[in-house]
């Protein structure tokens, strides 16, 4: 059992047919369950305007999508820490 699943970097090492992971961020858990069930992540780039629109209007989107935007589209995967766009020559 992993009480702080985060990015699942510990629980993925456990070799057992039953693995339980928990976290207090419902959006993260919804995202992981979505992917676990075979859901595909969006392939298109999220604009900075869309990032902040979604951040400020979470009730209009499914929880897994909020998790996707909040973690995967954020700089250093900090939940809605800041938009991970282009910085210098790097495109995050």
Whether 2 is covered by a domain: the verdict is no
* pLDDT, averaged across the chain: 88
In a domain, 84, yes or no: yes
1 is a domain residue? no
Is residue 5 included in any domain, yes or no? Answer: no
pLDDT at site 56: 97
Is the pLDDT at 43 greater than 90, yes or no? no
Q: Please state the domain count of the chain.
A: 1
- 69 inside domain: yes
CB 87 within 8 A of CB 65: no
* Average pLDDT of the segment spanning 58-76: 94
- Residue 90 CA, chain-centre distance (Å), reads 21
pLDDT at residue 22 in the model: 78
pTM: 0.80
What the block records as the tokens of 41 is 């992540």
| Cα angle for residues 15, 78, 14 (degrees, 5° grid) | 5
Q: How far is CA 85 from CA 9, 43, 58, 82, in A?
A: 24, 15, 20, 9
Range of the domain at 73: 11-91
Highest mean pLDDT: which range of 14-18, 41-45, 52-56, 71-75: 52-56
pLDDT over 90 at 38, yes or no: yes
């Amino acid at each position: 059992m992993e009480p702080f699943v985060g990015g699942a970097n510990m629980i993925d090492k456990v070799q057992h047919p039953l693995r339980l992971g928990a976290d207090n961020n419902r959006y993260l858990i919804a995202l992981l369950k979505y992917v676990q069930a075979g859901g595909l992540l969006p392939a298109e780039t999220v604009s900075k305007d869309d990032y902040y629109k979604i951040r400020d209007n979470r009730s209009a989107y499914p929880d897994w999508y909020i998790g996707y935007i909040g973690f995967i589209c954020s700089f250093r995967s900090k939940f809605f820490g800041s938009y991970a766009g282009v910085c210098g020559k790097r495109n995050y």
